[in-house]
Amino acid sequence: MLDRLRTRLQRVVARLNAVFGRGLVQAMSLVIIVALVVSLAMFGFFDAAAPNSLTITSGPDGSTFRRTAEQYKKILAKQGVTLNVLPSDGSRDNLARLVNPKVTADVGFVLGGEADSAAIEKLMSLGSISHQPLMIFYRGPTKQLLSEFKGSRIDIGPDGSGSNTLARALLAANGIKPGDGTTYVDTAADDTLRALSEGRIDAFFAMAESTPSALMRQLLRTPNVHLFNATQADGYARRFPYLNKLVLPKGAIDFGEDIPPEDVHLVGPTVELIARDTLHPALSDLLLEAAREVHGKPGLYRKRGEFPAAQEHEFRISPDATRYYASGKSFLYRTFPFWVASLIARVLALLVPVVLVLIPAIRIVPALYRWRMTSRIYRWYGALQRLERDALRPSADAMRREELMRHLDQIESSVVKIVVPPAYGDLFYGLRGHIASVRESLRAELPSTPDAATHDDPMKREAQTAP
């Protein structure tokens, strides 16, 4: 089978050589091989087909982050994409995972104010998806200022959570630090309500990114437990650029029980959907489609269509996200089902480099080939011109002309060996005719001698050189 295939291939190559010339076939073969190599290399490094799975780092069980990730998972599953949800301790834990290349995580929820220079470098934002209010529950007399919590036992949430980071920043701005009589603790979620009721803690700083929503609803309904009204919310929002002033309207939690009994001012950062800069554009589009479906509805702290939004804070907005906010999903993924678009993109990733190499090559190779063929012939004209000028010089005697005649014989011998396609036969035989013309000129100047006669008859020259 292999021998038969090899024989057929050799016949095809021989036929192409006969029609187009060996040089052109070799040149085109080289171009095609180079195009395929370039295509495969680009396909390996820049595979345009989107993967059918990705991993999101979310939050602890029961948290808003975890529930949101599960909603994303269901939406992406409809497109044939598997979203693996990793539980975490919250925003800071998510950021640490995204920064660490050893951790398998493509995207995660991160609160504003969490970033540092190391995190920003290889991460990008797909946009803000919601506001995340900080809710401070406390027992005892009503408090107007955060500074009144000095000397208290405060549960600020676990390390790695956004509530822990934000609580430390706000308390420090009010002159409260560990060691001044204030104690920072972290109680288990199922023990927080009891610890607050029994007086084991005096205040609890909660954010939905790391606190179960059921616990926050219980705290809002617990007698003698108050929700702190941040009357200085405007000032905090000015001091900390990543914070927003939010309002929990009177009765918004329960109209029948009038919870809360008055408008409560809160502060909180926005939640950003942060991804590694290697995230595929098609997956970026799918995530933003899911975010629009989940977060585009009105809520306690957002208007309809307010999120997701291309609000740039510590992280740069992804170019793919910018394109999505401007024009929606890319053409392929907007027109075809995800798996079909992915297949088309994979084929294009293989073919486009070949086309980009072949189109200019198809134009250039014939020109180079013509130049190569004509240069084989035209370069001998320079030798002929020099030989003829030497013969016409007054100082050229009979001996010099004999020498020039032998040189001309050598030129003709070399020219005869040139292999050119039939298409260039006119140039080839034109050169041989010009050689004959120069020989006639030299012969006219030579004396009539037996040696000169040998130049007239090629058969005589061949007989003289024969052994």
Q: Which of 272-286, 301-315, 336-350 has the lowest mean pLDDT?
A: 336-350
pLDDT tier, 28 (very low <50, low <70, confident <90, very high otherwise): low
Q: How far is the CA of 219 from the CAs of 65, 124, 157, 170, in angstroms?
A: 20, 36, 15, 22
pLDDT tier, 264 (very low <50, low <70, confident <90, very high otherwise): very high
Mean pLDDT, the chain, integer: 82
The pLDDT value recorded for residue 150 is 94
Residue type, 105: A
- 47-101: pLDDT as tens digits: 455 688 999 999 988 889 999 999 999 999 998 899 999 999 888 899 999 999 9
pLDDT tier, 462 (very low <50, low <70, confident <90, very high otherwise): very low
Quick one: what percent of the chain has pLDDT higher than 70? 78
Determine the Cα–Cα distance for residues 205 and 154; give it in Å rounded to an integer: 8
Determine the Cα–Cα distance for residues 112 and 313; give it in Å rounded to an integer: 7
- 321-335: pLDDT as tens digits: 988 888 887 777 677
- 203-260: pLDDT as tens digits: 999 988 878 888 888 999 998 899 999 999 999 999 998 899 999 999 998 999 999 9
The pLDDT value recorded for residue 362 is 67
Look at residues 199, 164, 177 and name the one whose alpha carbon lies nearest to residue 91: 164
Can you give the three-state secondary structure of 101-130, one letter per residue?
Answer: CCCCCCEEEEECCCCCHHHHCCEEEEEEEE
Question: Do β-strands 53-57 and 82-86 pair in parallel, antiparallel, or remain unpaired?
Answer: parallel
Determine the Cα–Cα distance for residues 33 and 192; give it in Å rounded to an integer: 69
Q: Which residue has the tokens 């007086």?
A: 199
Q: What angle do CA 103, 109, 112 make, to 5 degrees?
A: 120
Instruction: Indicate whether 119 pLDDT > 70.
Output: no
pTM flag (> 0.75): no
390: helix, strand or coil: helix
Instruction: Indicate whether 372 pLDDT > 90.
Output: no
Q: What is the mean pLDDT of residues 415-420?
A: 82
Determine the Cα–Cα distance for residues 423 and 232; give it in Å rounded to an integer: 90
